[in-house]
Amino acid sequence: MRYLMLAKGGDQNPDEKLQAEMAEFIQETAAAGVLLATGGLEPGGTRMISSGGEITVTDGPYTEAKEAVGGFALVEVRSKEEALELARRFRGIVGDGESLIHQVFGPAD
């Protein structure tokens, strides 16, 4: 099953040590066939709202940096516990903040 992980918060200016640890974590999970895709996200982003058929587009919906989604990872795992374990390791590297973990439904789910 696949899970999409979204990470909020974390250090805005990561030092070299953190970057190296992250690179190793990504390399390791990709090599193990677990990590399918990952990337960092532009902090502000663009928001689109449809209301009564009317589309409104605004920039940067987040007022605080810790609220911004900073990155995502798409993983393929055997169980929810495996997904949580990976998220836990990720938070162990990047430090305080919030992660959102959603199962991505496939044909079997």
Partner 1 sequence: MPDTSRSGGSTDGTIEAVWKLESARIIAGLTRLVRDVGLAEELAQDALVAALEQWPESGVPDNPGAWLTAIAKRRAIDHLRRAQRLERKQAELAREAQQAHDEPDDVLRLIFMSCHPVLPTEARVAMTLRLVGGLTAAEIARAYLTTEARVAQRIADAKRTLAAAGVPFELPDAAELAGRLSSVLEVVYLIFNEGYSATSGDDLMRPGLTLEALRLGRLLAELAPGEPEVHGLVALMEIQESRSAARAGPSGEPVQLHEQNRGRWDQLLIRRGFTAMLRARELGGRPGPYVLQAAIAVCHAQARTAEETDWAQIATLYDGLVHQLPTPIVRLNRAVAVGNARGPVAGLALVDELAGDPALRDYHLLPGVRGDLLVRLGRYAQARLEFERAAALTRNAAERAFLLRRAASLPAGDSGVTLAEAAASFLARSELDTATARAYGQTMRRLRLALGDRRPLATLTAADVARVFTTAWGSAAAATWNRHRAAVRSFGAWASVDLASDVDRRASAPARAEPLDHAWLAELWNRPEVPLRERVLWRLVHESAVPARVVLSLNVEDVDWDDRRARTGGGDWVAWRAETARLLPRLVAGRTRGPLFLSERRPAPSRTPPGADLCPETGRRRLSYERAEYLFKQATKPLDPAGTGYTLRRLIPRAERRGRRASAAG
Q: Distances in Å between the alpha carbon of 64 and those of 11, 39, 48, 91, 96? A: 13, 21, 19, 19, 15
Taking the complex as a whole, how short is the minimal distance between the CB of residue 83 and partner 1, in angstroms?
8
- Minimum distance of partner 1 from residue 90's CB (angstroms): 13
Residues within window 23-82 making contact with partner 1, judged by CB under 8 A: 30-34, 36-37, 74, 76, 78-82
| 18 belongs to the binding site for partner 1 (CB under 8 A) | no
- The two structure tokens encoding residue 96: 């305080």
CA 70 vs CA 3, 32, 42, 98, 109: distances in Å: 17, 24, 7, 10, 28
Tokens of 19: 């970057």
Q: Compare residues 55 and 108 and give the one whose CB is closer to partner 1.
A: 108
Binding site for partner 1 (CB under 8 A): 30-34, 36-37, 74, 76, 78-82, 84-85, 88, 92, 101, 106-108
